[in-house]
Amino acid sequence: MPKQFDLLIFDWDGTLMDSAGVIVDSIQRACADIGIPVPSEREARQIIGLGLVQALQTLLPDLPEGDYPRLVERYRHHYLGRDEEIPLFEGVPEGIRDLAERGFTLAVATGKSRVGLARALQSSGLGAHFAATRCADQTHSKPHPAMVLELIDELDADPAHTLVIGDTSHDLLMAANAGVARLAVTYGAHEADDLHPHAPLALLDSFAEVHAWLAANA
């Protein structure tokens, strides 16, 4: 049976790596450090997936411009202190390896920095399975379609046979803006009610379900 998709573009945080809780906690600690009101968990989760500066500006639009660099520094202090301890979701190493062996081309589109993603790919051991990556400090941040369009161009892929897999509305909007199909996971940063309006092919509750869906349908 011919494959429906050739290129699978994965988000990283909240889709492959169980990092949403650490990101939220680091945002909250950073806000406390500089003496501004601490956002709720839901508020902080809503901006996960954006590039860091854009995320903080979206979360705290009334913060004086000069305070963002200090907030970024405090966020990085708290996040990087735990970065190497953050696990992949259960089944991710085996699932990614299997998808690569099945002949899919795998890529990553993430709000992480290039340095942050390189560190995560090395520590997780997954780097060899991804043909290309795009990060928020390389091009436009989500939900702009640039990450997807650049990956399609670099990998000489067909948009009609490209699928984005992500845990946030930013991922799904990026895919929609690029004119490609999308698959949503509910175990990351955003809840099903946030994801459903963006017309994913399916809403899946674990990476095991993602792997099974791709094996059966992609």
Instruction: Kindly tell me if the per-residue pLDDT of 1 is higher than 80.
Output: no
Give residue 81's pLDDT. Answer: 84
Two tokens, residue 199: 């017309």
Q: Where are the domains of the chain?
A: 7-18+87-217, 20-84
Under 8 Å between Cβ of 168 and 188: yes
Active-site annotation, residues:
11, 13
Question: Cα 69 to the chain's mean position, in Å?
Answer: 23
pLDDT (mean) for 10-31: 96
Residue with tokens 């690569």: 100
Q: What percent of the chain has pLDDT over 70?
A: 99
Report helix, strand or coil for 111: coil
Report helix, strand or coil for 213: helix
Instruction: Kindly tell me if the per-residue pLDDT of 91 is higher than 80.
Output: yes
Instruction: Kindly tell me if the per-residue pLDDT of 137 is higher than 60.
Output: yes
Global pTM? 0.93
Report helix, strand or coil for 212: helix
User: What pLDDT digit, counting tens, does each position of 204-217 carry?
Assistant: 999 999 999 999 99
Under 8 Å between Cβ of 60 and 37: no
Report helix, strand or coil for 101: helix
Residues 6+ apart with CB under 8 A from 156: none
The CATH code of the domain at 7-18+87-217 is 3.40.50.1000
Two tokens, residue 114: 């290039």
**Quick one: CATH architecture of 20-84?**
Orthogonal Bundle (1.10)
Instruction: Kindly tell me if the per-residue pLDDT of 2 is higher than 70.
Output: no
